[in-house]
């Protein structure tokens, strides 16, 4: 399955960012995640996973720090 097929255009997503072997789970809007991935492709500074199906309730996960910066506003 391609990312374009299941990547939603709106709503919140669960993403996992791993830095130096430590994983951080966040919730962020689809637009912010898309922009984060675009930035990440230019310089890969961490590992990013999009969690499609999760047992965790996304409402309980913290929001992506500085999410507004990735929204372009």
- The per-residue pLDDT for range 3-51, each reduced to its tens digit, is 556 667 788 888 999 999 999 999 999 999 999 988 888 988 889 988 8
Task: Evaluate whether residue 63 is within a structural domain.
Answer: no
Task: Evaluate whether residue 40 is within a structural domain.
Answer: yes
Task: Evaluate whether residue 61 is within a structural domain.
Answer: no
Alpha-carbon gap, residue 17 to 64, rounded angstroms = 10
Task: Evaluate whether residue 70 is within a structural domain.
Answer: no
| pTM reported for the whole predicted model | 0.76
The yes-or-no verdict on residue 59 having pLDDT over 50 is: yes
Task: Evaluate whether residue 71 is within a structural domain.
Answer: no
Query: Which of residues 20 and 57 earns the better pLDDT score?
Result: 20
Query: Which of residues 60 and 1 earns the better pLDDT score?
Result: 60
Alpha-carbon gap, residue 32 to 20, rounded angstroms = 23
Q: Which two tokens stand for residue 50?
A: 């999009």
- Whole-number pLDDT of residue 45: 82
Count up the domains in the chain and report the number. Answer: 1
Task: Evaluate whether residue 19 is within a structural domain.
Answer: yes
How many other C-beta atoms can be found within 10 angstroms of the C-beta atom of residue 40?
A: 14
DSSP 8-state assignment for residue 63: B
Q: List the domain range (segments joined by +) for residue 45.
A: 3-55
Task: Evaluate whether residue 13 is within a structural domain.
Answer: yes
Task: Evaluate whether residue 14 is within a structural domain.
Answer: yes
């Amino acid at each position: 399955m391609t990312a374009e097929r299941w990547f939603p255009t709106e709503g919140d997503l669960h993403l996992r960012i791993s830095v130096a072997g430590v994983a951080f789970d966040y919730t962020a809007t689809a637009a912010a995640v898309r922009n984060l991935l675009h930035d990440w492709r230019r310089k890969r500074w961490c590992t990013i996973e999009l969690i499609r199906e999760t047992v965790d309730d996304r409402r309980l996960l913290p929001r992506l720090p500085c999410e507004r910066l990735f929204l372009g506003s």
